[in-house]
């Protein structure tokens, strides 16, 4: 009995040459944003137990790492400070100290590696004795007072020379307030990548260790971060942030939220990024470390998935490794 398939789609998968010819997308080092953890001191590195391969670096070594990343083709580096617990207060004043760790790191990088874009996180959690992204009063994360503090924090970062500000706090009205303050202060070219569709996720666990926020956090972040069931609400947040003046938007976490990445790009057609967060990184590393998956292939496949879903780029702790593979002609 003869069997004739209606079409033979495997024809185009037969050889590497044919597969390369029909490949729909490519990964480029231009797509990578590298999140780094900064600590105090000089010549210091500290391992992050829950993120094997990720370290905190003092400012001098962060500058060196930025130079190496830039030489490897990475164009954006995103700073996260590990703040000394003694500097954490209920009103988070350290957040807008022009000399805080993050602002010192921005200045040092811009002085030595001016061509790499420096991105920051705008949220109060590294400076908050309560561990939350906003100010807490009687157990409530108060919106408008938090926004006022976030604006002060953002202005200090713009003043230090940050190229991209990433408000990750999920307070209402923060983008409009920052935009207005920037216009008033003359920072008309400071760009905002809003963490617009940011979910209350279990996948941030290792990050909170990395920035030393796990101990301080009381309760959860569900009154401001999105419910993982809700996609429509995520789209509304994106629409609102764009309306208020965001230049770029982010979906976070990444892999469990590829549907959002796709819908954001389809709906708004704006520069869209995913954050492959600490827990996603840790899962791939842990499985690879146990020999259960091929870490390199899983890493690259995860990055391709963001492109396929419609993202223009991805924040990933894998950035240096991925950049090295891309430059070596990885297929």
Nearer to ligand PBG by Cβ, of 279 and 295: the residue is: 279
| Share of the chain residues as helix, strand and coil, in percent rounded to the nearest 5 | 45, 20, 35
CA gap 28, 116 in Å, rounded: 16
Question: Which candidate in 88, 221, 252, 265 is catalytic?
Answer: 252
Among residues 207 and 257, whose Cβ is nearest to ligand PBG?
Answer: 207
Q: What does the per-residue mask of binding to ligand PBG show for 220-239, with x meaning CB under 6 A?
A: -x------------------
Identified binder of ligand PBG from the candidate list 199, 204, 306, 318, rule CB under 6 A: 204
3-class SS at 322? helix
**CB nearer to ligand PBG: pick between 70 and 221:** 221
Nearer to ligand PBG, 75 or 198 (CB): 198
- Give the separation between CA 75 and CA 116, rounded to whole angstroms: 5
Q: Is 277 left (phi over 0), alpha (psi -120 to 50) or beta?
A: beta
Catalytic residue (one of 88, 198, 221, 265): 198
Q: Are 252 and 244 in contact (CB under 8 A)?
A: no
Q: Look up tokens 């370290």; give the residue.
A: 55
The set of residues, in sequence order, having a beta carbon less than 8 Å from that of 190 and lying 6+ positions away, is: 158, 162, 163, 165, 182
Q: Judged by CB under 6 A, which of 34, 37, 127, 207 binds ligand PBG?
A: 207
Q: Does 242 bind ligand PBG (CB under 6 A)?
A: no
State the number of binding residues for ligand PBG (CB under 6 A).
11
Q: Is 218 a catalytic residue?
A: no
Q: Which is nearer to ligand PBG, 134 or 295 (CB)?
A: 134
DSSP state, 218? Answer: -
Choose which of 133, 209, 241, 244 interacts with ligand PBG (CB under 6 A): 133
Q: Which is nearer to ligand PBG, 108 or 211 (CB)?
A: 211
Q: CA-to-CA distance for 76 and 222, rounded, in angstroms?
A: 30
The span from the CA of 331 to the CA of 309, in Å, is: 19
Q: How far is the CB of 132 from ligand PBG (least distance, A)?
A: 9
Which member of 121, 209, 241, 244 binds ligand PBG (CB under 6 A)?
121
- Residues in 9-48 that interact with ligand PBG by CB under 6 A: none
* Alpha helices (H) in the chain, listed in sequence order: 16-22, 59-71, 101-112, 143-160, 174-185, 205-210, 232-244, 258-268, 278-289, 295-309, 319-327
Site string for ligand PBG, 152-181 (x = CB under 6 A): ----------------x-------------
Active site residue 252: yes
Interactions with ligand PBG, residue window 250-289 (CB under 6 A):
277-278
Task: List Cα–Cα distances, 299 to 165, 173, 188, 296, in angstroms.
Answer: 26, 36, 37, 5
Using the rule CB under 6 A, which residue among 125, 209, 241, 244 binds ligand PBG?
A: 125
The binding site for ligand PBG (CB under 6 A) comprises: 121, 123, 125, 133, 168, 204, 207-208, 221, 277-278
Active site residues: 198, 252
């Amino acid at each position: 009995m003869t069997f004739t398939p209606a079409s033979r789609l495997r024809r185009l998968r037969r050889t590497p040459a044919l597969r390369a010819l029909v490949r729909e997308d490519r990964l480029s080092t231009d797509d990578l944003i590298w999140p780094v953890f900064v600590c105090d001191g000089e010549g210091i590195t500290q391992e992050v137990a829950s993120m094997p391969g990720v370290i905190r670096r003092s400012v001098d070594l962060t500058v060196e790492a930025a130079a190496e990343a830039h030489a490897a083709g990475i164009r954006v580096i995103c700073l996260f400070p590990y703040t000394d617990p003694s500097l954490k207060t209920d009103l988070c004043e350290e957040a807008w100290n022009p000399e805080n760790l993050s602002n010192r790191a921005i200045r040092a990088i811009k002085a030595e590696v001016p061509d790499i874009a420096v991105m920051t996180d705008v949220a109060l959690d590294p400076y908050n004795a309560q561990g939350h992204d906003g100010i807490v009063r009687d157990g409530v994360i108060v919106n408008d007072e938090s926004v006022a503090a976030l604006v002060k924090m953002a202005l200090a970062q713009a003043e230090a020379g940050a190229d991209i500000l990433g408000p990750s706090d999920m307070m209402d009205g923060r983008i409009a307030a920052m935009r207005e303050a920037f216009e008033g202060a003359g920072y008309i070219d400071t760009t905002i990548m809003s963490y617009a569709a940011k979910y209350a996720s279990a996948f941030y666990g290792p990050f909170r260790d990395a920035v030393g926020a796990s101990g301080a956090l009381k309760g959860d972040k569900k009154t401001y971060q999105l419910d993982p069931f809700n996609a429509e609400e995520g789209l509304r947040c994106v629409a609102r942030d764009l309306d208020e003046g965001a230049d770029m938007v982010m979906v976070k976490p990444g892999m469990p939220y590829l549907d959002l990445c796709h819908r954001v790009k389809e709906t708004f057609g704006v520069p869209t990024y995913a954050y492959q967060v600490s827990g996603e990184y840790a899962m791939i590393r842990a499985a690879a470390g146990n020999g259960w998956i091929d870490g390199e292939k899983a890493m690259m496949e995860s990055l391709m998935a963001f492109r396929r879903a419609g993202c223009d780029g991805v924040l990933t702790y894998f950035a240096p490794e991925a950049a090295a593979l891309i430059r070596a002609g990885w297929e």
